[in-house]
């Protein structure tokens, strides 16, 4: 596996009994600490690839290695999601009944530690992302950009090796989008977290160290 944190070999994901080929033989390799953007037209398989890498879904065939474990056959995918990856959705997906602080704590339920230590860490993460003042607020009382920042703090909760963003700026205005990308790039730069961002926006993609371009379920450029 050398320095790669993610590798896929002939990765395929078919839907509707093979009629829809979302991924059709994808081979990629991503190094630790790399910042990658994945671009391509709608329906080209970007999000599906991200779902495979983040252990949200299993491939139809092929292999997907994350930190040495083949997720195609690995039994405890929830362990991978909990400890190795942090996922940022296009829509923040925060739980509306919980405060920002409680939302950040949610992934920590699966790790050991005292409640006070978890709370302290969640506060720290919110401060780090610049939304410490929102700790006691519910998502319904935040702007789109604020919600997405809280979602980033949640993705960082369990110190993941990889942060995956599926159009993380897709639901916020340009200014908030740039701020969010600044935060993610800073995390990549200063903490060495591997960052993979799926985006339509070329001005966001160009900030990445490397861009993977997809079309019809295949990699056309990397």
Partner 1 sequence: MLFLRLIIKNLFNRKTRTILTIVGISIGIATIIIFGMVSNGLTNSMSTAFKPGKADFTVAKADVADMILSVVTREQLQTVRNTEGVESVVPYVMSLAPFTGNPYFILGGIDPNDLDLLGARITDGRIYRNGDEVAIGRIAAKNYNLKVGDTIVLNNKDYAIVGIFESGVTMQDGGAATTIAETQRLNSYTDNQVSMAMVNINPGLDPRAVADAVEARDTALLCVVDMDDFGSLDQGLSIIDSVSWAISVLAMVIGGIGVMNTIIMSVFERTREIGVLRAVGWKRRRVMAMILGEAIVISLGAAIIGIALGLGVVWLMMQTNMAKSWLDITMEAEIFLQALLVAVVVVILGALYPAYRASRFSPMEALRYE
Interaction of residue 118 with partner 1, rule CB under 8 A:
yes
Interaction of residue 97 with partner 1, rule CB under 8 A:
yes
For residues 176 and 168, the answer to whether their CB atoms sit within 8 Å is: no
Stretch that binds partner 1, among 19-27, 82-90, 186-194, 195-203 (CB under 8 A): 82-90
Interaction of residue 70 with partner 1, rule CB under 8 A:
no
**Counting beta carbons within 10 angstroms of the beta carbon of residue 210, is it exposed (0 to 12), middle (13 to 18) or buried (19 or more)?**
middle
Cα angle: 75, vertex 80, 82; to 5 degrees: 125
Which of 9, 27, 33, 98 is close enough to bind partner 1 by CB under 8 A?
Answer: 98
Site string for partner 1, 142-171 (x = CB under 8 A): ------------x--xx-------------
* Distance, CA of 32 to CA of 18 (rounded, Å): 33
Interaction of residue 45 with partner 1, rule CB under 8 A:
no
Which of 30, 89, 121, 134 is close enough to bind partner 1 by CB under 8 A?
Answer: 89
* Distance, CA of 201 to CA of 189 (rounded, Å): 21
Strands (E), 54-209: 61-66, 69-70, 85-88, 162-166, 194-198
Q: Which residues bind partner 1 (CB under 8 A)?
A: 51, 54, 56-57, 78-83, 87, 89, 93, 95-98, 102, 105-110, 115, 118-119, 154, 157-158
């Amino acid at each position: 596996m050398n320095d790669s944190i993610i590798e896929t070999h002939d990765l395929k994901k078919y839907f509707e009994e093979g009629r829809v080929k979302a991924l059709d033989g994808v081979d990629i390799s991503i190094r630790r600490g790399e910042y990658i953007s994945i671009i391509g037209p709608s329906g080209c398989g970007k999000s599906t690839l991200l779902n495979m890498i983040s252990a949200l879904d299993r491939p139809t065939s092929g292999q997907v290695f994350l930190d040495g474990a083949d997720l195609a056959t690995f039994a405890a995918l929830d362990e991978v999601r909990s400890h190795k990856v942090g996922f940022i959705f296009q829509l923040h997906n925060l739980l509306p009944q919980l405060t920002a602080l409680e939302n950040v704590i949610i992934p920590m339920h699966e790790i050991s530690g005292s409640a006070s230590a978890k709370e302290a860490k969640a506060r720290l993460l919110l401060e780090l992302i610049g939304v410490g003042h929102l700790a006691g607020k519910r998502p319904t009382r935040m702007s789109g950009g604020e919600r997405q920042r809280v979602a980033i703090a949640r993705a960082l909760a369990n110190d993941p090796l990889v942060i995956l963003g599926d159009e993380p700026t897709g639901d916020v205005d340009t200014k908030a989008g740039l701020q969010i990308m600044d935060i993610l790039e800073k995390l990549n730069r200063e903490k060495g977290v591997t960052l993979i961002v799926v985006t339509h926006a070329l001005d966001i993609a160009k900030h990445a160290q490397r861009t993977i371009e997809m079309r019809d379920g295949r990699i056309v450029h990397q």
